[in-house]
Chain A
Amino acid sequence: MANKISDETIEYVGILAKLELSGEEKENAKADMERMLDYIDTLNELDTEGTEPMSHVFPVYNVFREDIAENGDGSGDTLANAPLVKEQGFKVPKTIG
């Protein structure tokens, strides 16, 4: 296998993705990712020189809405599924400290 994923990389990606993997999951993830990356490497066989990256398949531009207020008090719906509410806001562990 050409690609090697280090423990640090898995750790780092875990921080980016906010996922905490167990020891076994980490080993599996490393093996999976190495295989996938080898597979993704096959794209290098392809000459894409001069080809623009295509994010949207259709040339659709300028889809706008007018600057007109449409929504009223949305707090009821917004908070309807909240795991923890306090003073009409979402309660989370302290963010600064």
Chain B
Amino acid sequence: MDICSMTALELGEKIRHRELSAAEAVRAYLARTEAAEPEINSFVTVDAEGALRRAQEVQKGIDEGIFSGPLAGVPVAVKDNLCTRGLLTTCSSKILSDFKPTFSAQAVRNLEKEGAIVIGKTNMDEFAMGSTTETSYYGVTRNPWNTSHVPGGSSGGSCAAVAAEECPFALGSDTGGSIRQPSSFCGVVGIKPTYGTVSRYGLIAYGSSLDQVGPIARSVSDCAAVLEVIASHDKKDSTSIRREDYDFTRALTGDVKGMRIGIPKDYFGEGLDSEVKEHILHAVKKLKEEGAVVEEFDLSLVQYAIPAYYVIASAEASSNLARFDGVKYGYRAGNCDGLHQMYKKTRSEGFGAEVKRRIMLGSFVLSAGYYDACYLKALRTKALIKQAFDSAFERYDIIVAPSAPTTAPKIGKSLSDPLKMYLGDIYTVSVNLAGLPGITVPVGQDKKGLPIGMQLIGNCFEEKKIIRAAYAVEQMCEYKAPKLCGELKNSAGGKSTCREGGRQVWRDSMRQ
């Protein structure tokens, strides 16, 4: 029995039926993590001690019938921009290198209430700004399918950890594609829910009006089950929405008969890699064979989504990240002459290049004389993009799109040209601007063996439709694990790894 290759639901079931203990599950994943991390670097922090302690408590809860849900005893990895009480939360930034939150994010609490066990915090682009997980202060994360490639980003650590079977599922966040794009690059499933579905309380904000927390796993069923647990109406988040339906797993039928699927022509033209295009259209064809009604249409405004997105996200980020100033928490520069120098040195030394670039851009577009021309113009564009989707969803149940123009690029190829990197978000950002739900589901690999994902976009509050269609796609394209997983399985139980700079620390206590 290979614990690490099970889905979260399979593992949960075994634990519930006492075929496995929570501690056994945790230990197996910690061992796998230990073996994989030197290659992948998915984690900023692995909390072996805490996870094992928690496993004992959860097991007791399971035995006493307190935890009876599908995720009880199941390990989870959490993106490092979600606060975890008492556990280092860095946003992969130097500026939060010693920050231990005093409370946990609501999404994490919802999981813990169901008995899921946090085993660590995953690497990401610094403050979720990036598409490759190369901007982390704690080193790049490598793609488990080919370690010379990036895992995508910004939730690259979460997606790589799931793909490398270092955890059965993970939490990510998605501001402009940060769950859907790395899920595509890592060959896993990831959902960005409708804005307001999962509480943002405890999510360290990047672009508050765009940020959503979502699940990443190796199956659509796992993602639906996790979403069911993390979604809640939270009084602490004013933008949280009280929904009528939280029973997302009921959509796991695969029935697409009569489902109207729109294919935006603008998404399948120039700039899209031909292999990616081919695989997605092949999956669409199969959906059609299952009874879906497929039609091409003009979504329009596609080229305006990225500039609008970068204006809005950078503006909000410039304000959200102002609080990191060396006064209340985090890094503080030494030897400063006066308050303003302390601010400037702390922030200049504490933030990386991409974060500084976006803070500068955001401060600029909000400054006197540019607010109307840049910021308000972007908000108006956002309104038009929302309208375009509204009218599309009058005709279609779901929209099919790529998650990214290509498969995962090589490490070191993206950061030199930021604008080009931003263009890679073309299929994902408008979904955030319009507050819509989107899911990435794997549909195959390119000739190099790198995974290709397909994005399904739903109307607001219609996660069930995209889950239904994604489940159908999953049935047609069986999940494949990267070759690395097989190798790791055989090498598990290797030497203890301790790294100074990279934060990960293992304790001997985990290996029993």
Contacts and interface: CB of A to CB of B under 8 A. Distances in A.
A78 B329 CA distance: 9
Task: Determine which residue in A52, A63, A81, A82 has the highest number of CB atoms from chain B within 10 A of its CB, and name it.
Answer: A81
B327 A21 contact: no
B360 A13 contact: yes
Q: For the complex, would chain B's binding face be called helix, strand, loop or mixed by DSSP majority?
A: helix
A17 B460 contact: no
A77 B102 CA distance: 6
A76 to B, nearest CB: 8
* B interface bracket (residues with beta carbon within 8 Å of A): 35 or more
A37 to B, nearest CB: 8
B434 A57 contact: yes
A95 B356 CA distance: 25
B489 interface: no
Interface string A42-70: 11111010011111111010010100000
Contacts of A60: 196, 239, 241
B343 A18 contact: yes
B1 interface: no
A90 B304 CA distance: 44
B361 interface: yes
Nearest to B346: A18
A92 interface: yes
A32 interface: yes
Interface residues of A, number: 48
A10 B381 CA distance: 27
A19 interface: yes
A36 B102 contact: no
A94 interface: yes
A29 B102 contact: no
Contact of A56 (B209, B345, B351): B209
Interface string A8-51: 01101110111111000100010011011001101111101001
Given A39-B307, A43-B378, A46-B301, A81 B356 contact: no
Contacts, number: 155
A14 B360 contact: yes
Interface string B29-48: 00000000000000000000
A21 to B, nearest CB: 7
Contacts of A90: 327-328
A72 interface: no
A93 B376 contact: no
A94 B340 CA distance: 10
A84 interface: yes
A42 B381 CA distance: 11
Interface string B357-389: 101111111010000001011111111101000
A95 B340 CA distance: 9
A42 B329 contact: no
A2 interface: no
A10 B259 CA distance: 52
B56 interface: no
Nearest to B378: A43
A39 B419 CA distance: 9
Contacts of A82: 327-329
A58 B460 contact: yes
A57 B339 contact: no
Contact of A80 (B102, B386, B419, B434): B102
B418 interface: yes
Given A18-B340, A81-B330, A92-B342, A40 B360 contact: no
Given A19-B351, A52-B383, A58-B241, 10 more contacts: A12-B367, A18-B343, A25-B353, A35-B419, A36-B361, A42-B303, A57-B433, A58-B460, A65-B235, A80-B102
